[in-house]
């Protein structure tokens, strides 16, 4: 089973057999999700539609979504953990529910490959369902559906909320129990009784039943629109279908790992090589996709840019550990662009940026790597007589100074200290270092784990009236910036709460005071004109013909929502933009627009924070 065939098999199955509409996966940078720096699950781009907003492509959808997760980055190097992955998903937005969703999943898993399924053995399947608690009852309904499909009682377990419940995107929102499918990968016959702690049972699919809304007080109330959100891990299933133990043994990584071994000058790898090979391959694949994203994130010391920088630099360090002495990151990125570019065309479209930024970051890091290691080793030698105290022998600001003065990542400091025996309690000591690093990095950065996925409003924090106003104001700001600075200005991200908006846009120079005043003037003029805000559904081509701006049309399918600010009949249209989420009906509702701050966000990207008074 090839990667290309598996992707197409999944899409065709739901389109041809169950009347789903195919929609394209969205950006890695979430537009309307308040929880993470990157899209970490297939649901993130569809949050507005899970909240009840009608989707232009209908109630049954199927897609393949790019995802990034870095909360388990220290585990990468084993046989399973990945930072970038693809999620196959089918969706019901207020249409079918538990019975239909489970039967569709079972059908795809077990149907013969010649007839469009995966052809997996029924005898190797096991199931988990939600055990129930004070918030929601035991999910016997799902279990009964599985039994009707021939799954024995001993192959079905009920697990608590920690295992079988999908929470809301933020602190509040749609959520509910799930049922998970496991496949036996052991060499022996599958045991009659399912033991979820046996690692030979591998989770391959998850059907989430979003039937509750978590409220501000932490209670759960029934949702008016019940949804189904399913997710199948692409890399994991591809490995199973090809009879290998790890995604790193599939075509997705094979050519890159062969190149790593060639660059490292060894043939059959030792165990230390395997871990580093996987880290290098995984991290540079993730970096390639982040750099190739339409948003154009580049390496920096904050937010998504920090995660990107950490991935690239960690890959380079592991390259040096296994004997790669030449620059190599750009070459491996080129293999990923070649292997993925036909399906993810944005990689071809943005390959110049991908290669330029990777080369630049590798060059910068190599200049600091040797110096930083030298400083760290000298400090360890100086404190050798205090090694019994472990990391507490170092000054509390040392971990931050290594980063601030020598550009040495705190994660690199931790790994070197661990390798040299300074870390005595793996969890406690690492947490202490990160705590002190964040403390000295500055409270204003609000980094909880310095580059891990932290809680972060990637789009709309909620659907309140004030957030809707600020969301609408970003349309006015976007167009005003284009009028003042030029048509090269394009949105590169937004972060909107009920108190303020944050808008990232493509522009390489700091705005002058005069330019900021002119932008404010234009926005407030449009507000004072009491312009209507109207929404129309149309095809992507129709939207482009109307001159609509927008980066997110790919996830909507054939139809998009286009918001127009102005009155076409009076010939005073100010803004036309593809968008989702809540908006006001008239600009008179917005009040007075004021820019609070304008600064650099990353290379070639500026950031504005503004409020409505």
Place 281 in a pLDDT band, splitting at 50, 70 and 90. very high
Contact 307, 283 (CB under 8 A): no
What pLDDT sits at residue 585?
85
Checking if the pLDDT of 338 tops 60, the result is: yes
121-170 residue pLDDT tens: 999 999 999 999 999 999 999 999 999 999 999 999 999 999 999 987 66
545-583 residue pLDDT tens: 888 887 544 444 567 788 899 987 777 899 998 887 778
Q: Mean per-residue pLDDT for 492-512?
A: 87
Q: Mean per-residue pLDDT for 165-177?
A: 82
Using the structure block, give the residue that is written with the tokens 């009964």: 144
All residues at 6 or more sequence positions from 457 whose CB lies less than 8 Å from its CB, including other chains? 34, 495, 496, 497
What pLDDT sits at residue 169?
65
What pLDDT sits at residue 196?
93
Considering only residues 377 and 408, tell me which one the structure prediction assigns the higher pLDDT: 377
Place 466 in a pLDDT band, splitting at 50, 70 and 90. confident
Checking if the pLDDT of 119 tops 80, the result is: yes
Burial 3-33 (b: 16+ CB within 10 A, else e): beebbebbbebbeeebebbebebbbbbbbbb
All residues at 6 or more sequence positions from 501 whose CB lies less than 8 Å from its CB, including other chains? 470, 471, 473, 474, 477, 494, 495, 609, 610, 611
- The pLDDT mean for the chain works out to 88
**DSSP, res 496:** E
What pLDDT sits at residue 556?
45
Place 176 in a pLDDT band, splitting at 50, 70 and 90. very high
Give the DSSP H or E segment for 88. Answer: strand 84-93
Checking if the pLDDT of 463 tops 80, the result is: no
What pLDDT sits at residue 558?
62
What pLDDT sits at residue 601?
75
Q: Tell me how far apart the 2 most distant CA atoms of the chain are, in Å.
A: 82
Checking if the pLDDT of 444 tops 60, the result is: no
Checking if the pLDDT of 370 tops 60, the result is: yes
- Which pTM value belongs to this model? 0.71
Place 446 in a pLDDT band, splitting at 50, 70 and 90. very low
**DSSP, res 510:** P
530-551 residue pLDDT tens: 999 988 888 888 888 888 887 5
All residues at 6 or more sequence positions from 500 whose CB lies less than 8 Å from its CB, including other chains? 470, 596, 609, 610, 611
The fraction of the chain above a pLDDT of 90, given in percent, is: 59
Chain Cα centroid distance, residue 397: 32
Q: Encoding tokens for residue 336?
A: 């990923």
Nearest in space to 232 (alpha carbons), one of 115, 136, 101, 113: 101
Checking if the pLDDT of 460 tops 70, the result is: no
Beta-sheet strands, E only, within 484-554: 491-496, 501-506, 533-539
The DSSP bridge pattern shows strands 501-506 and 156-159 to be unpaired
Nearest in space to 316 (alpha carbons), one of 391, 373, 270, 246: 373
Checking if the pLDDT of 429 tops 60, the result is: yes
What pLDDT sits at residue 454?
37
Considering only residues 298 and 295, tell me which one the structure prediction assigns the higher pLDDT: 298
Alpha-carbon distance of 76 to 296, in angstroms, equals 25
What pLDDT sits at residue 92?
97
Checking if the pLDDT of 223 tops 70, the result is: yes
């Amino acid at each position: 089973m090839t990667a290309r065939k598996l992707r197409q098999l999944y899409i065709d199955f739901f389109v041809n057999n169950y009347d789903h509409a195919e929609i394209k996966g969205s950006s890695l940078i979430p537009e309307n999700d308040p929880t993470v720096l990157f899209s970490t699950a297939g649901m993130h781009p569809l949050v507005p539609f899970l909240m009840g907003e009608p989707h232009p492509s209908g109630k049954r959808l199927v897609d393949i979504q790019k995802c990034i997760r870095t909360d388990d980055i220290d585990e990468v190097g084993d046989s399973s953990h990945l930072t970038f992955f693809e999620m196959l998903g089918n969706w019901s937005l207020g249409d079918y529910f538990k019975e239909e969703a489970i039967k569709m999943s079972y059908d795809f898993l077990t149907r013969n490959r010649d007839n469009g399924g995966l052809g997996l053995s029924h005898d190797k399947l096991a199931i988990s369902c939600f055990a129930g608690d004070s918030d929601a009852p035991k999910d016997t309904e799902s279990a009964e559906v599985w039994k009707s499909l021939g799954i024995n009682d001993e192959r079905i377990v009920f697990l608590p909320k920690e295992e079988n419940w999908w929470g809301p995107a933020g602190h509040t929102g749609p959520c509910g129990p799930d049922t998970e499918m496991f496949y036996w990968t052991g060499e022996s016959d599958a045991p009659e009784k399912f033991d979820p702690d046996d690692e030979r049972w591998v989770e391959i699919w998850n059907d989430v039943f979003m039937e509750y809304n978590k409220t501000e007080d932490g209670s759960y109330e029934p949702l008016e629109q019940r949804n189904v959100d399913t997710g199948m891990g692409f890399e994991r299933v591809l490995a199973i279908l090809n009879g290998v133990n790890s995604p790193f043994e599939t075509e997705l990584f094979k050519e890159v790992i062969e190149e790593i071994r060639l660059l490292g000058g060894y043939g059959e790898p030792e165990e230390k090589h395997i871990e580093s090979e996987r880290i290098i391959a995984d991290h540079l694949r993730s970096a390639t996709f982040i750099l190739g994203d339409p948003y154009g994130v580049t390496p920096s010391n904050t937010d998504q840019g920090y995660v990107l920088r950490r991935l690239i630099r960690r890959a380079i360090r592991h390259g040096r550990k296994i004997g790669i002495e030449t620059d190599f990151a750009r070459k491996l990125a080129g293999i990923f662009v070649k292997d993925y570019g036909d399906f993810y065309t944005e990689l071809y479209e943005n390959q110049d940026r991908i290669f330029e930024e990777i080369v630049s970051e590798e060059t910068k890091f190599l200049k600091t790597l040797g110096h930083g290691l030298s400083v760290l080793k000298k400090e360890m030698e100086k404190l050798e007589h205090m090694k019994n105290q472990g990391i507490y022998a170092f000054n509390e600001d040392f971990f931050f100074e290594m980063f601030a003065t020598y550009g040495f990542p705190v994660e690199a400091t931790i790994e070197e200290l661990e390798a040299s025996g300074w870390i005595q309690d793996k969890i406690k000591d690492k947490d202490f270092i990160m705590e002190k690093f964040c403390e000295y990095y500055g409270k204003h950065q609000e980094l909880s784990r310095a580059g891990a996925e932290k809680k972060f409003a990637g789009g709309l924090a909620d659907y309140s009236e004030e957030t809707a106003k600020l969301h609408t104001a970003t349309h006015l700001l976007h167009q005003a910036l284009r009028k003042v600075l030029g048509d090269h200005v394009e949105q590169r991200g937004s972060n909107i709460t009920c108190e303020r908006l944050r808008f990232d846009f493509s522009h390489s120079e700091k705005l002058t005071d005069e330019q900021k005043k002119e932008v404010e003037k234009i926005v407030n003029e449009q507000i004072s004109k009491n312009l209507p805000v109207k929404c129309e559904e149309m095809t992507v081509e129709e939207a482009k013909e109307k001159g609509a701006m927008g980066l997110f049309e790919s996830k909507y399918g054939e139809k998009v929502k286009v918001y127009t600010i102005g009155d076409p009949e009076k010939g005073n249209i100010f803004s036309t933009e593809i968008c989702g989420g809540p908006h006001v009906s008239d600009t008179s509702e917005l009040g007075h627009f004021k820019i609070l701050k304008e600064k650099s966000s990353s290379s070639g990207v500026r950031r504005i924070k503004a409020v409505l008074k």
